[in-house]
Amino acid sequence: MSVNPGNDPSRRTDPSLRPTSASALIVAALAAAAAGWLLISTNDLFYHISPLPWTGAGVLGVLAVAEAYLAQSTSARIQRKPGAPPVQPLAVARYAALAKASSLVGALSAGFTGGLLVGLLLETTEEAASNVPVAVTTLAAAVALIAAALWLERACRVPDRPDREDDEVNRR
């Protein structure tokens, strides 16, 4: 459960899901980039493993497309656009949790792949050059996942409705 800052810590409130902060994503990406760069620059083991796999880019790309579709669909359903079926509140909460987790995974993947890419670009070997297209594609897919996840998270917000403000004023 979350505790309201500045209030009595013994008084607990309902759990809440806060929007993803850009600083958390940046810190995660920078830490992962440092790890990726250190892995490739200080360890000759990387070159004995084999080429980078394309599966990372594929999985991140599929997740990005799926979350972009969910974001578009959820937004239309929450805004009650004509032809859009109603959305279940629990489904929206699950989508929001998925979006938060996916944006962090995307930031970690983008950072790690970015660190690997920097190391690969600094190397002059053929093995490094052959891994650059995979790293660039994986980085692009990770950035697409971050964007789709943040869009889905934004789509899960309940819109402000002017008719509700009038109800609250009348209740006072």
pLDDT in tens, 2-11: 445 555 556 5
CB 145 within 8 A of CB 116: no
Average pLDDT, the chain: 83
CA dihedral 99, 105, 108, 109 (to 10 degrees): -120
| 86 has a pLDDT exceeding 80 | yes
Place of tokens 């800052």: 5
- One-letter amino acid at 101 equals A
Residue 101 and residue 82: Cα distance in Å, rounded? 31
Grade residue 50 by pLDDT with cuts at 50, 70 and 90: low
What pTM value is reported for the model? 0.80
Grade residue 47 by pLDDT with cuts at 50, 70 and 90: low
Mean pLDDT computed over 126-150: 93
User: What tokens does 79 get?
Assistant: 């805004």
Q: Percentage of the chain with pLDDT > 70? A: 79
pLDDT at 157: 83
